[in-house]
Structure 1
């Protein structure tokens, strides 16, 4: 995963990451975790979904995330539940045939080296083990967010600084592209579909959802060629909030996300 620090938003993540939770239910249904399977929650955040996984299986449950803040929260909230948490990225993990299932919910887009992450996942799975991902897909991953960012791009207060922004995310445009990426690394893809998921929220709720994930990229100094100022950050937030207010009809915003749902099975001998 990229070096994005979610520690600052860790305490609010469980409350505001409603889009991730909704989509996670679909992913859990697709994976059908067995009652004794060993599971890795890849990009576990504060462990909200790791704890759900713990309730589904008597097997080993491990959660990893590159954010120390997220892992601290996860450990605190999971006391007594027999879950192992580690500060580790997908690109760093070195498991060897340890898991029946890898659960990867709403984090695949953050991987700085997706192909290395997939190779590591292949090695981490037991024979016939499976990985399930759900993540934002397509460059217009969320029309609401993209529209708001276009306002940032054109506003006199922010356009000069924003011109130096370089997107940190990894998106593919089609189901076939995602399928090919996994099959390239010896997985057999058994399900791959991009869905548009629509939920309804107040403008304030949409901004909180935006702040639970996307903002960690858009306001990250690592992805700008110039220094971010307090004035820029304040104006950025103000513009985005205003955009969501303008998107509302009768006080309600229809928030749309394009999301990839994919399940792949490890086939053949483990990679060397």
Structure 2
């Protein structure tokens, strides 16, 4: 789903907010016992398990095999762990090309779709996966999401001589649409959009002074992985210096998130 290399330990250890904020999105999904629900981009499975706890039959998919391995470790298959008593499974699959023989009552996705530039391919797969009348419930980064962070990162990389063409190609791999853009794409493929909102959500990062560093290592790895260890440290320090006055308060870094929430009916 992205060109990032995911560090599952860093994801679970320092970025639990990703799925903790997603728990509120489950209220919008309102899973019902017996429903078949696909969790698109499930990561290490926390929200997929929450869906299964309602009595729904949950399948979590992610393109990253390490994430699925983590999900299976966190929530062993019920055949192996009868005490779990959940209809819960995980599989490696790409959001832009997945296909299943079964049809789902709902497709759910939290903090994933901004990693996939080919939004139309994803929407097509989701639409085909749903039963008639099925619902698609998602939250992801919207227009100007982490604008302060990404601008500071781009400036810092340019200062150390990072190739501008490569920088532009990497930046374009994020997809932060406006409501108008995304809902139009949904409607063009047959969805009836019944709810859409764009909102600011400043998000506190864990680990005090190291919060922004951890965020960059986790979510901007496609930039930093091309640098030496010394260059990585230099870039991170430059980003921190640029953003300290705006995003650092009372010993805590805060990410300038803007999120889209949307519900579409097939």
Answer whether TM exceeds 0.5 for this pair: yes
Task: Select the residue among 174, 177, 180 that pairs with 2:184.
Answer: 180
Segments ≥4 residues shifted beyond 6 Å: none
Distance 2:198 2:20 in 1: 15
1:198 aligns with 2:195: no
Q: Tell me what 1:105 maps to.
A: 110
1:130 aligns with 2:135: yes
Q: Tell me what 1:269 maps to.
A: none
Task: Spell out, residue by residue over 1:72-99, the C-alpha distance to the aligned partner (whole angstroms, 9 max, x if none).
Answer: 1111110134422111111221125521
Distance 1:150 1:112 in 2: 19
| Partner secondary structure for residue 197 of structure 1 | strand
Deviation larger for 59-68 or 187-196: 59-68
Residue 237 of structure 1: how far off its partner (Å): 2.8
Task: Spell out, residue by residue over 1:109-152, the C-alpha distance to the aligned partner (whole angstroms, 9 max, x if none).
Answer: 111421111111111111111111111111x3114413431441
1:71 aligns with 2:68: yes
| Partner secondary structure for residue 116 of structure 1 | helix
Aligned residues: 252
| Alpha carbons 2:217, 2:224 under 8 Å: kept | no
Distance 1:86 1:128, change over 3 A: same
Q: Tell me what 2:260 maps to.
A: 260
Distance 2:120 2:161 in 1: 33
Distance 1:18 1:76, change over 3 A: closer
Distance 1:76 1:249 in 2: 36
Distance 1:105 1:249 in 2: 27
Residue 26 of structure 1: how far off its partner (Å): 3.0
Q: Tell me what 2:96 maps to.
A: 91
Q: Tell me what 2:238 maps to.
A: 239
Task: Spell out, residue by residue over 1:169-219, the C-alpha distance to the aligned partner (whole angstroms, 9 max, x if none).
Answer: 1121x212211110111011111110101234534223323433x213433
| Partner secondary structure for residue 160 of structure 1 | coil
Task: Select the residue among 148, 152, 162 that pairs with 2:152.
Answer: 148
| Alpha carbons 2:211, 2:253 under 8 Å: kept | no
| Partner secondary structure for residue 164 of structure 1 | helix
Q: Tell me what 1:216 maps to.
A: 221
Task: Select the residue among 116, 119, 124 that pairs with 2:124.
Answer: 119
TM-score, length basis structure 1: 0.83
Distance 1:96 1:189 in 2: 25
Distance 1:88 1:33 in 2: 22
| Partner secondary structure for residue 53 of structure 2 | helix
| Alpha carbons 2:158, 2:164 under 8 Å: kept | no
| Alpha carbons 1:135, 1:261 under 8 Å: kept | yes
Distance 1:204 1:188 in 2: 43
